[in-house]
Chains A and B, each alone.
Chain A
Amino acid sequence: SQTIHQWPATLVQPVGSPLSLECTVEGTSNPNLYWYRQAAGRGLQLLFYSVGIGQISSEVPQNLSASRPQDRQFILSSKKLLLSDSGFYLCAWRAGRGNTEAFFGQGTRLTVV
């Protein structure tokens, strides 16, 4: 069966420090991969999505970047965190488009101090 791993679960980082969040998927190949951010009490904001290795689509220009070095690995990074980067970060995968469902990781709660 397919599983998605996302870590760490919680993270407290100072302003100006770098960030690296990793997401891996098991049990499937060539998944579509997604990074979302959810500010406190708000909806899900799509940050990046990827349909293959090295292919990244950015939805919101900001202080973050994403990479997909391997088929089932998706990394969210920042060189210098801002206070506004605080939030709940979620990784998701789906097998295709249309009628395929998405599966989400458990999320990383990032607090920038």
Chain B
Amino acid sequence: DAKTTQPNSMESNEEEPVHLPCNHSTISGTDYIHWYRQLPSQGPEYVIHGLTSNVNNRMASLAIAEDRKSSTLILHRATLRDAAVYYCILSPRFGNEKLTFGTGTRLTIIP
């Protein structure tokens, strides 16, 4: 299975943009890149996903490198409620249906 690598932790100031990186150098051409976040004592929630092009939704933006070996989740204006663990995972279009999470990045927002 293709793996992802993320920094263990990051800090950001409130009301500033946050760029969360993810490396996935062994990604296959049909793997989707998904991002989830987990607030304390809750289950993860979906944030965004993409395949090749950059994506925007109401929560965040996803920037995908041209060679698809890395991606960046962008929170445009961090709030205290964005403090969470952010997971970058690969979701194959073909093959088995398992969904594997890594350890993610713990994002701390400084007031």
Contact = CB atoms under 8 A, between A and B. Distances in A.
A107 B51 CA distance: 29
A49 B99 contact: yes
A15 interface: no
Size category of the A interface is: 20 to 34
A30 to B, nearest CB: 11
A83 interface: no
Nearest to A4: B43
Interface of A: 32, 34, 36, 42-44, 46, 49, 51, 57, 59, 88, 90, 92, 94, 96-107, 109
19 contacts: A42-B103, A43-B101, A44-B38, A46-B98, A46-B100, A57-B98, A92-B43, A94-B97, A97-B95, A98-B93, A99-B49, A100-B91, A102-B44, A102-B99, A103-B46, A104-B43, A104-B44, A106-B42, A109-B41
